[in-house]
Amino acid sequence: MTISLDPHYAFDKTDVLSVNAIRACAADTVFKSNSGHPGAPMGMAPAAHVLFTAIMKANPKNSSWWNRDRFVLSNGHACALYYIMLHLMSYKVSLDDVKNFRQLESNTPGHPEVGITDGIEVTTGPLGQGFANGVGLAIAQTHLAATFNKPNYPLFDNYTFVFTGDGCLQEGVASEAASLAGHLRLGNLIVIWDDNKITIDGNTQNSFTEDIEMRFTAYGWEVLYIEDGNLDLDGIYFTIQRAKQNKDQPTLIAMSTIIGYGSSLQGQVVVHGAPLKAADIGGMKSRFGFDPSENFYIPEATRELYARATERGIAANEKWNQLWADYKAHHPIDSAELERRMEKRLPDGWESALPVYCPGDPAAQGRVYSQTALTKIAEILPEFVGGSADLTGANLSRWIDAVDYQAPETNLGQRTGRYIRYGVREHAMVAICNGLDAYGGIIPYNATFLNFVSYAAGAVRLSALSHHRVLNVATHDSIGLGEDGPTHQPVETAAWLRALPNMKLWRPADGNEVSAAYIESIKDTRHPSTLCLSRQDLVNLEGSTIERALRGGYTLQEADNADITFVSTGSEVQIVVAAARILADQGVTCRIASLPCWEVFERNDEEYKLSVLPSGAPIISVEAYSTFGWGVYSHEHIGLPGFGMSGPAAQVYEKFGLTPEAIALRASKILDIYKSDGEKVRSPLLSATRRILQKERFA
Amino acid sequence: MTISLDPHYAFDKTDVLSVNAIRACAADTVFKSNSGHPGAPMGMAPAAHVLFTAIMKANPKNSSWWNRDRFVLSNGHACALYYIMLHLMSYKVSLDDVKNFRQLESNTPGHPEVGITDGIEVTTGPLGQGFANGVGLAIAQTHLAATFNKPNYPLFDNYTFVFTGDGCLQEGVASEAASLAGHLRLGNLIVIWDDNKITIDGNTQNSFTEDIEMRFTAYGWEVLYIEDGNLDLDGIYFTIQRAKQNKDQPTLIAMSTIIGYGSSLQGQVVVHGAPLKAADIGGMKSRFGFDPSENFYIPEATRELYARATERGIAANEKWNQLWADYKAHHPIDSAELERRMEKRLPDGWESALPVYCPGDPAAQGRVYSQTALTKIAEILPEFVGGSADLTGANLSRWIDAVDYQAPETNLGQRTGRYIRYGVREHAMVAICNGLDAYGGIIPYNATFLNFVSYAAGAVRLSALSHHRVLNVATHDSIGLGEDGPTHQPVETAAWLRALPNMKLWRPADGNEVSAAYIESIKDTRHPSTLCLSRQDLVNLEGSTIERALRGGYTLQEADNADITFVSTGSEVQIVVAAARILADQGVTCRIASLPCWEVFERNDEEYKLSVLPSGAPIISVEAYSTFGWGVYSHEHIGLPGFGMSGPAAQVYEKFGLTPEAIALRASKILDIYKSDGEKVRSPLLSATRRILQKERFA
């Protein structure tokens, strides 16, 4: 293959000087913070230099340019390098910011966090995540290009570049993502593997002796080599350019480097995760021809070189702006639509497309309401893109006329397709969704059984930390799945997801609540959601409306002078309604609250929340999970004592006392105790801590 | 390679008859339960028949024979096949049990569960887990063989056979495990891949087009083929025998089959996960020459064939018993030691090896106490075997003179080595530990940061469900890890693990509590533990003893007429002690309870528990996590409002109000409110529900 090398990029001594300055600066950064990882930044400085100054098409003055090349530092612990590059390229990262590395409330935290630092695309550090995010970013580019590009209007033609170390490549999440990327023939994805033979435990010989290049070839990737990643800037450049020319396959570039290059201890594991000694840094600077006493030294020639690179990025963005202006003139409808999508605006009144149910309407499974809802959403929101981890027919996660997102050469679908066949790869699926959201213009969803959302826990956590709007459609949400048994029945999953900051766990009780869950999950652009959907039928409840459910919790059945308030979620609400009827026959008056989403319920004012869960009567929760965590809202909790069981769903419910009769009996026993105790009953919402926090908030 | 085929195994028409009977019986099983998966059982019936009747060395009458070949059905949804095989081989699975498939409290649940069904080695169903368990089983065999076999005494020479579908091979956990198995050259591991080109979502072309054979070759496996897994019983037999002869590599056998072989819909996705229609089953039976009206038909010739296979298994066990008797005579010390290990007995007084600390002793990091403890344990318990996911130096998970477990040809270690280099493979690491425990004779542990235990959630859940004694050594257990930042700081992890049934989350507050955590985790053979260990120093506390900590919770500082009871865990206990001193100066009397393990604390009688967390004063919890779930033990909760932050640990603690001063201030505000409310304060342990359950227990 012929490579046309832009003569501009003849690397010279200024580049070498710059690379060495970056190495020294990385060592200084970690030394000053007395914490962090110098080895990978020093080893990957040449690749970063070539990529940022000579290859990447990005505008540091407009880091949200839609068609920028995306860079992902999957080995996020190497972020000293990343921050230095962002500084040199004139992103909003000052040299003082770099010096403030890993300090409280700095914009240069210990691992890269999107939203904290200008120019950072995705949050990385937990190994393997960035790699899989990169697959999501690459999918998004191909999808938006196929959807919006026109002849002569390559609005989206950017690449995604990922740096990875050995650690990421050992992680299952990266393996899953790599397999899918190969299947999807993502020619716009280029991964540069820092092949330095060192992991924290020593030489890769200790645990990682597979033939990585063969593995990626097996996945359908092209594999290229950079034999000397320490010095051969031309080789780095040519190889990446070569990778860009392969439009049909993702590329893994195996780049040999020496970890901690420049240190007297280079190549050894000690340079990985702790600051170098001062004398070592000084010696290195001397060898590089720098003043050993000067820290954070950036040569003027380096400043100039990077300024030119920045200018080229600005110019590229300006050229694209012209293209966009022309596109807008010639394609007003498409451009308006694209703008709407990229700005995360929703069409006026889109929510009205969601189905509204009345108490008389036939009962349906939670997953069926979900399929109805997502079918409507798919019609009205073309940015709604997702799929299932090979459980399409069980999750009911596909609308009937969906087109698969596939490489068109396979005749299995199109790049414009919006249904992704993730395969049995839950962890990569969610990490890819994080990448789709990070790219923009897409509302990503995914689907599996609720129990297997746990397989994706590493990525789910980063959805939450990074404020990605990702919808996890989680069907088969309880022991109600029945025969599949305890290996498939979630018990602890809701507690985990409710304890996870920023995550909204929705557990809708009927059709209206399912509609509300989708509406709120899509409207809220800053938080991920997990929608727990039943396999068994959900009756449409008297008292439920979409509007009420949108508050996250509401009074389903009000009663004056109630003896008991029941609070419940999902498929157990209808059981509680029946239990309340039994109790009513016994002269016990019950209020019922439905609490489909705790995180959203908390956003209401105190008065409203207290109206749902008031003082004066014991509040009893009912949920077919571990009762762990219910103390926030209820005095007494009815749930599972341990794992579930294999058997027909109704029998499993009965086994665990989750029938109307058993609940009524338990509740009346509870009530007897409260009566005999004769104490005032205060809502858990009136805990001293809540009252203090409330007061502090308004002080 | 020459293969010596035992002439006994010339497969004939009885074998074909038997295979077809198994296929029909699998269809009947799923039909009768009206739930389950007929396709894979029908497709894999030939392989199961050959393996169980002609290859596996196992004694159905003694399913805990140490040297039995292990069988793992990684595609656990195919368990109708497994139960039928166990029945035919005369394990304790009757035909009625098979007919009771997926019914409540049957021994034939929806997915295989160890402990529920005689002959089942590990719990499978969650995809990829069984594959990784198989790697653990294979490691265990090589380790015990290297440790206990003697010339002419091959006590341990069994193989591990794993059946897997495409689903397992897409999962990251299986990829991680496969890479490690190749590295470790586990020649005793043979995986038979049901290459039927079908997943739930349809043809594997949709999402799984990688070259699987090349991938496994890259991992260092041998790959063999069975071209016709539907009919070629000889081919199946020869190929597996061929695999057994490769002692240097694990083997993947790619076996082509047709899913649902025999059904009129064979080869189609519809036969995967739902019962076949009655007419289809009838037609199949006719084609097989069976009476279409007869269900669960087992031909007499099949019975006889299987009876002979069972006899051979019994004979093999008896032959081995003789070997064992001779071994015992010639190697009394080794045999006694082995017996002790296999029977999970601990040497008398072993606990006394664990360090005891006094309040005057120097403070140390939680992970340092842990290293001291595990070093002592490693000395006294040779069955203690584990390692880290490439964080050895950070987890301090290795004792100083440990030998690595490695293939000896690599010169990196020995098969007798007890330190496993898991690589950056958290999910496989825990799944492998489940396999090590399932094999027996080993107490497995693993190590990573607490935050990354979540990566292994799928396997952690199965440790708990399957009652595996696995120790998860989880260091860097809070925001106290400081600069690495929120990507590495667990917040929700404790809530998840406390909500997970059977899991013991230990969060020790000082040296004695670390010793207690190890003692209890090792003594309790039926539950997994997660030991949360700090990166920061833990002062040795006045009032802590190993004996007290062994109760899971205890009163660290008693006080008469206390105004407040503090309850806390781990590194926050020492902060609470300091807060209590500040409050004492203000005339506020505090009790302090340390609650290192909730699950163990719950095992105490009510009176004891109430003595730790009594009524009469507000109980305030303090923990540097989400407060989610503390309502079980405390009225008021101090913790984190969301994710952590990157910065020096002390500053991060201060930022979140987790200093003695801030806690004292918050506590006194809480106390003011309780005083002004003037209500009786009842321990959360006296909730109505707990009182009812207590009463029911003794009724």
Distance CA A272, CA A263 (A): 11
Residue B697 has a pLDDT of 81
Unique residue bearing structure tokens 């590329």: A251
Pair B273, B37: CB distance under 8 Å: yes
- By Cβ distance, the residue of B166, B465, B631 closest to A631 is B631
Chain B positions in Cβ-Cβ contact with residue A110 (cut-off 8 Å): 482-485, 487-488, 646
Q: In 3-state terms, what secondary structure has residue A286? A: helix
Decide if pLDDT at A386 tops 50.
yes
Q: Looking at CA atoms only, how far is residue A58 from chain B in angstroms?
A: 26
- List the structure tokens of A323: 């293209």
Write down the pLDDT at residue A318. 98
The span from the CA of B58 to the CA of B67, in Å, is 8
Backbone torsions φ then ψ of A319, nearest 5 degrees: -60, -45
Q: Which residues of B touch A690 (CB under 8 A)?
A: none
Examine the pLDDT at A10 and tell me if it is beyond 90: no
- Confidence band for B10, pLDDT divided at 50, 70 and 90: confident
Per-residue pLDDT at A410: 96
pLDDT tens, position by position, A76-98: 999 999 999 999 999 999 999 99
- What distance in Å separates the CA atoms of residue A320 and residue A325, rounded to the nearest whole number? 8
pLDDT tops 70 at residue B153: yes
Long-range contacts, stretch B310-317, CB < 8 angstroms, 24+ apart: B310/B60, B310/B61, B310/B89, B310/B90, B313/B56, B313/B57, B313/B58, B313/B59, B313/B60, B313/B61, B313/B89, B314/B59, B314/B60, B314/B61, B314/B62, B316/B57, B316/B58, B316/B59, B317/B59, B317/B61, B317/B62, B317/B65, B317/B68
**How many residues are there in chain B?**
699
For residues A584-594, give the mean pLDDT: 98
Q: Which residue has the tokens 């010169």?
A: B411
Please name the residue ranges forming H helices in B456-570: 457-465, 493-499, 511-523, 546-549
The per-residue pLDDT for range A618-656, each reduced to its tens digit, is 999 999 999 999 999 999 999 999 999 999 999 999 999
pLDDT score of B2 more than 80: no
pLDDT for the residue B698: 76
B430-447 average pLDDT score: 98
What is the residue-averaged pLDDT of chain A? 97
Pair of tokens at residue B399? 């004792």
pLDDT at B213 over 90: yes
**Mean of pLDDT over chain B:** 97
Instruction: Please say whether the beta carbons of A529 and A471 come within 8 A.
Output: yes
Residues of A with CB below 8 A from B451's CB? 126
Q: Which residue in A475, A644, A478 sits closest to A574, CA to CA?
A: A478
B180-214: string of b/e by CB count within 10 Å (b at 16+)?
Answer: bbbbbbbbbbbbbbbbbbbbbbbebebbbbbbbbb
A404-405/A419-421 β-pairing: parallel
> Per-residue pLDDT tens for A294-334?
999 999 999 999 999 999 999 999 999 999 999 999 999 99
The percent of chain A in helix, strand and coil, each rounded to the nearest 5, is 45, 15, 40
Q: Which pLDDT belongs to residue B634?
A: 98
- The beta strands (E) that lie in A401-483 are given as 404-405, 419-421, 443-449, 471-475
Q: What is the mean pLDDT of residues B9-22?
A: 93
Region B677-688: what's the mean pLDDT?
A: 95
Which residues partner with A553 through β-bridges?
none
> Which residue on chain B is closest to A216 by alpha carbon?
B215
CA B247 to chain centre: 27
For the domain spanning B350-538, the CATH number is 3.40.50.970
Residue A101: predicted pLDDT: 98
Contacts of B677 (CB under 8 A, 6+ apart): none
Cα–Cα distance for residue pair B312/B305, rounded to 1 Å: 11
What does the alpha-carbon distance between residue A550 and residue A504 come to, in Å, rounded to a whole number? 12
pLDDT at position A6: 53
Nearest to B492 among A36, A220, A499 (CB): A499
Give me the residues paired with residue B622 across strands.
B568, B638
Radius of gyration, alpha carbons of chain B = 28
Strand order in the sheet with A189-195: A70-73, A160-164, A189-195, A251-256, A222-226
Q: CB of A361 within 8 A of CB of A188?
A: no
Mutation site, A388, A424, A669, interface B, largest B CB count within 10 A: A424
Residue labelled with tokens 């030939």: B46
pLDDT tens-digit series, residues A527-581? 999 999 999 999 999 999 999 999 999 999 999 999 999 999 999 999 999 999 9
Residue B696's pLDDT band (boundaries 50, 70, 90)? confident
pLDDT at A9: 65
- CA-to-CA distance for A272 and A198, rounded, in angstroms? 8
Main-chain dihedrals φ then ψ at residue B164, nearest 5 degrees: -140, 150
Q: Shortest Cα distance from B581 to chain A (angstroms)?
A: 21
Q: How would CATH label the architecture of A552-697?
A: 3-Layer(aba) Sandwich (3.40)
Q: Is B127 annotated as a binding residue?
A: yes
Tell me whether domains B8-318 and B350-538 share a fold. Answer: yes
**In 3D, which of A103, A106, A105, A74 has the Cα closest to residue A93?**
A106
For residue range B368-388, list pLDDT tens digits in order: 999 999 999 999 999 999 999
Q: Is B426 a catalytic residue?
A: yes
Question: To the nearest 10°, the Cα dihedral for B213, B217, B218, B219?
Answer: 100
CB distance B492–A485 less than 8 Å?
A: no
DSSP assigned state of B210: S
Mean pLDDT of A33-38: 96
CATH of segment(s) B551-697: 3.40.50.920
Overall size of chain A counted in residues:
699
**Percent of chain B at pLDDT exceeding 70:** 99
Helix axes A511-523, A366-380, angle to 10 degrees: 40
Residue B85: C-alpha distances to residues A327, B144, B242, B471 (Å): 66, 28, 23, 33
- Supply the angle between the helices A13-33 and A233-245 in degrees, to the nearest 10: 100
The order of strands in the sheet holding B251-256 is B70-73, B160-164, B189-195, B251-256, B222-226
The 10s digit of each residue's pLDDT in A485-542 is 999 999 999 999 999 999 999 999 999 999 999 999 999 999 999 999 999 999 999 9
Angle between helices A79-88 and A39-50 (to 10 degrees): 40
**Dihedral Cα A644, A646, A649, A654, nearest 10 deg:** -60
Question: What is the ipTM for the molecules in this complex?
Answer: 0.98
- CATH code for B8-318? 3.40.50.970
Run of H or E including B584: helix B571-585
* B28-45: pLDDT as tens digits: 999 999 999 999 999 999
Contact B209 A182 (CB under 8 A): yes
Pairing of the two strands B384-388 and A636-640: unpaired
Q: Is B605 annotated as a binding residue?
A: no
Judge: A175–B173 Cβ closer than 8 Å, yes or no.
no
CA distance, residue A139 to nearest chain B CA (Å): 14
Helix (H, G, I), strand (E, B) or coil at B30: helix
Active-site positions of A?
Answer: 426
Phi/psi for A435 (5° steps) reads -70, -40
From B648, which residue of chain A is nearest by alpha-carbon distance?
A103
* pLDDT for B5 beyond 60: no
Distance of CA B656 to the CA centre of its chain: 35
- Nearest CB among A390, A421, A631 relative to B167 is that of A390
CB atoms near residue B307 (< 10 Å): 13
One-letter amino acid at B262 equals G
What local confidence, expressed as pLDDT, does residue A3 receive?
43
Can you list the alpha helix ranges (DSSP code H) found in B288-404?
300-330, 332-342, 366-380, 392-395
CA distance B100 to B36: 12
Q: Determine the CATH number of domain A36-318.
A: 3.40.50.970
pLDDT for res B94 = 98
pLDDT at residue A697, rounded to an integer: 81
**A568 Cβ neighbours under 8 A, 6+ residues apart:** A509, A575, A576, A592, A593, A594, A595, A621, A622, A623
Angle formed by the axes of helices B511-523 and B366-380, to 10°? 40
Phi, psi of A601 (to 5 degrees): -55, -40
The pLDDT tens digits for B576-627 are: 999 999 999 999 999 999 999 999 999 999 999 999 999 999 999 999 999 9
Average pLDDT over residues A409-436: 98
pLDDT over 60 at A484, yes or no? yes
The enclosing H or E element of A278 equals helix A278-287
Q: Where are the domains of chain B?
A: 8-318, 350-538, 551-697
Whether the CB-CB separation of B354 and B377 falls below 8 Å is answered with yes
Assign B188 to helix, strand or coil. Answer: coil
Residue B1's pLDDT is 36
Give the model confidence (pLDDT) of A646-698 as tens digits.
999 999 999 999 999 999 999 999 999 999 999 999 999 999 999 999 888 87
Closest CA to B364 of B243, B515, B216: B515
> Is B87 one of the annotated binding-site residues?
no
Determine the pLDDT at residue B8. Answer: 55
Chain A contacts of B219, Cβ < 8 Å?
210-211, 215
**Is the pLDDT score of B6 beyond 70?**
no
Distance CA A60, CA A58 (A): 6
C-alpha separations of B210 from A683, A690, B180 in Å: 57, 54, 20
Query: A630 and B631 in contact by Cβ < 8 A?
Result: yes
C-alpha span between B618 and A493 (Å, rounded): 30
pLDDT at A216 over 90: yes
What is the CA A75 to chain-centroid distance, rounded? 17
Annotated active-site residue in B171, B426, B572, B636: B426
Which residues in chain B touch residue A632, judged by CB atoms under 8 angstroms apart? 628, 631
pLDDT at A2: 40
Interchain CB contacts (distance < 8 Å): A and B: 406
Count of CB atoms within 10 A of residue A295's CB?
17
Q: At what angle do helices A660-677 and A571-585 cross, to 10 degrees?
A: 60
Q: Which residues pair with B263 in a beta bridge?
A: B261
